[in-house]
Amino acid sequence: MRRKIYLTAAAGLSLALSLAACSGGGAGSTGKTTGGASGAAEGGTVGVSMPTQTSERWIADGNAVKKGLEAQGFTVDLQFANDDIPTQSQQIDQMITQGVDSLIIAAIDGTALSSQLQAAKDAGITVVSYDRLIRDTENINYYVTFDNYQVGVQQATSLLVGLGIVDRDGKELGATGPFNVELFAGSLDDNNAHFFWQGAIDTLQPYLDSGVLVVKSGQTDITQAAIIRWQQETAQKRMEDLLTAAYSDGSKVQGVLSPYDGISRGIITALQNAGYALPDFPPVTGQDAEIASVKLINEGLQFSTIFKDTRKLADEAVSVTLALLAGEDPKPTANSVLDTKTYDNGVFIVPSFLLKSDIVYADNITSLLVDTGYFTQDQVDRGQM
């Protein structure tokens, strides 16, 4: 039996207003109760399960979702799972036992939550899969995320820009290389890692085929490139190993595809330890616009990152959750499109709301990240929240 929480028209209006307010909160918003709820959905509780606090984006995501829901009069149980699968399962079990009406989950391992989700379904709890697709279950309602294939395309495009092969519009500049590049992927248990990789490889493949790009290590398979749990230290170790194995002959790595800022920082440390220094630092890509990486981009040590506005994703999750609780079909917001073809979770194609991402380079940090209130100039300058 599905629970229904009835929202009045006033609640809908209040949602629109508070989502707009929520968008101004910045990446470091505290998630404090903002009040102003219409009271129409009073008493509802939403469990929000985020993977980890080691990456600031998930803290920003969790806080923004909490703030958006609290503005609607919901009680929010926000938990972070320390990147530990049993911890996340346990936290969700507890949310279900405590009688939440709805769940919003960014899974650590997309396949590890089947029994929790069965219990949620049996209890009539709606489930939104947040940013990462939950796989191998019929018991999720919707998926909110970014266009993950496109994120991979953007990462690879920025690498090609960094190498001087294409300009920012993707126009060929005629460089023939050959350029030595190395490739990194995310955690294989995260569905996103495969989408980022596919988008990137499809973009790089013509240049790998023509010999403009050369992966000297020969490690061109996602299973070789993957970094479990997206860990910085593991990425640093792999980069060190690659440098030892493929570049001890005096040759240099000239660019690195990285799918996430934490991984990028590991790669950059390994390169610095091996003597790479400005002004000849190879372009390293990234994702998430983490503040420490934004500083590195300012300094020229990281070349690019992909900005995914967590405030907008949080708005999306709140809006879908409210619709589900009201027994309505969720509608896209001004920021999203509904996709009913792409995200097959192994059991069904999960209806998904997709947002757009942007490539950040040193010269658009201000327009993308500061002018939009995501970070303050001071945070960018200090590289800290």
| Binding site residues, ligand GAL, CB under 6 A | 55, 57, 131-132, 186, 190, 192, 230, 260, 287-288, 308
Angle between helices 114-122 and 85-97 (to 10 degrees): 10
Angle between helices 9-23 and 310-325 (to 10 degrees): 170
* Nearest distance from C-beta of residue 187 to ligand GAL, angstroms: 7
Decide whether 18 or 192 has the Cβ nearer to ligand GAL: 192
Q: Which residue has the tokens 């590049």?
A: 181
* Nearest distance from C-beta of residue 171 to ligand GAL, angstroms: 28
Decide whether 18 or 287 has the Cβ nearer to ligand GAL: 287
* Nearest distance from C-beta of residue 130 to ligand GAL, angstroms: 10
* Nearest distance from C-beta of residue 45 to ligand GAL, angstroms: 26
* Nearest distance from C-beta of residue 385 to ligand GAL, angstroms: 16
Report yes or no: 263 and 235 within 8 Å, Cβ to Cβ. Answer: yes
* Nearest distance from C-beta of residue 330 to ligand GAL, angstroms: 21
- Strand 75-80 with 126-130, pairing: unpaired
Q: How far apart are alpha carbons 86 and 76 in whole angstroms?
A: 21
Decide whether 194 or 216 has the Cβ nearer to ligand GAL: 194
Decide whether 50 or 166 has the Cβ nearer to ligand GAL: 50
Q: How far apart are alpha carbons 201 and 184 in whole angstroms?
A: 11
Q: How far apart are alpha carbons 147 and 131 in whole angstroms?
A: 10
- Nearest 5°: the CA angle 244, 195, 289 is 70
Q: How far apart are alpha carbons 364 and 306 in whole angstroms?
A: 12
Decide whether 101 or 288 has the Cβ nearer to ligand GAL: 288
Decide whether 193 or 325 has the Cβ nearer to ligand GAL: 193
Report yes or no: 230 and 260 within 8 Å, Cβ to Cβ. Answer: yes
Decide whether 33 or 150 has the Cβ nearer to ligand GAL: 150
Alpha-helical segments (H) within the chain: 9-23, 56-70, 85-97, 114-122, 148-162, 191-210, 222-225, 232-246, 261-273, 291-299, 310-325, 365, 377-382
* Nearest distance from C-beta of residue 378 to ligand GAL, angstroms: 24
DSSP string across 103-155: EEE--SSTTS-HHHHHHHHHTT-EEEEESS---S-S---EEEEE-HHHHHHHH
Decide whether 76 or 107 has the Cβ nearer to ligand GAL: 107
* Nearest distance from C-beta of residue 146 to ligand GAL, angstroms: 7
